[in-house]
């Protein structure tokens, strides 16, 4: 059985069989499997935002309501930075969810109609999506590094030198990332 004619790679017309047409339709519609990634990525982001908020709520509750708290400024800061880490990883998951939805399913029309935020989530290629995710992952790594530095004990001058060199390397890396618009 033969269906309508199509142009082949050489520019000539050829007949497409029913089997080929059916296979292409099934293959094309298989892209909807990414909806699982979209849904579970967004749900995971919500869980991470909730977990980060709970960490901040718990530290606030303990700091404000418990008079003889064992909290130090350092432990408060470490907890808040940990919550920021949750938020940033949640942001990675949201960007991923929005990006694969736009690439494989449809553009988010409601996002495009919002003048102020339309370019934040705009993803036109896999490279765009990768670059947006890489930027946020780098921020997660920087925040995690900062959190670990706060909890470290520096006993020698070599420890301090290693920390200073690490901070310089991060600054240079962020400078080049911004310069090359990755």
- What is the signed CA dihedral for 148, 152, 158, 160, rounded to 10 degrees? 80
Q: What is the pLDDT of residue 16?
A: 76
The tokens for 180 are 């090359």
pLDDT of 105-137, one tens digit each? Answer: 888 777 677 666 656 667 778 888 888 788 888
User: What does the pLDDT look like over 36-95, one tens digit per residue?
Assistant: 999 999 999 999 999 999 999 998 888 888 766 678 888 888 889 889 989 999 998 998
Tell me the DSSP string of 10-69: TS-EEEEEHHHHHHHHHHHHGGGGHHHHHHHHHHHHHHHHHHHHHHHHHHHHHHHH-TT-
The pTM for the full model equals 0.72
């Amino acid at each position: 059985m033969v269906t309508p004619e199509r142009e082949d790679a050489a520019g000539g017309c050829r007949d497409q069989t029913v089997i080929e047409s059916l296979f292409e339709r099934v293959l094309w519609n298989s892209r909807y499997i990414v909806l699982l990634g979209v849904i579970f990525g967004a749900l995971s982001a919500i869980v991470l935002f909730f977990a980060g908020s709970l960490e901040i709520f718990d530290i606030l509750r303990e700091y404000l309501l418990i008079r003889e708290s064992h909290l130090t400024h350092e432990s408060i800061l470490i907890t808040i930075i940990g919550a920021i880490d949750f938020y940033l990883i949640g942001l990675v998951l949201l960007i991923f969810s929005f990006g694969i939805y736009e690439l494989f399913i449809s553009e988010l029309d409601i996002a495009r109609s919002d003048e102020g935020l339309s370019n934040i989530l705009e993803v036109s290629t896999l490279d765009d999506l990768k670059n947006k995710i890489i930027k946020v992952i780098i921020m997660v790594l920087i925040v995690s590094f900062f959190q670990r530095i706060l909890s470290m004990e520096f006993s020698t001058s070599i420890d301090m030198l290693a920390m200073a060199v690490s901070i310089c390397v991060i600054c240079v890396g962020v400078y080049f990332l911004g310069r090359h618009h990755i």
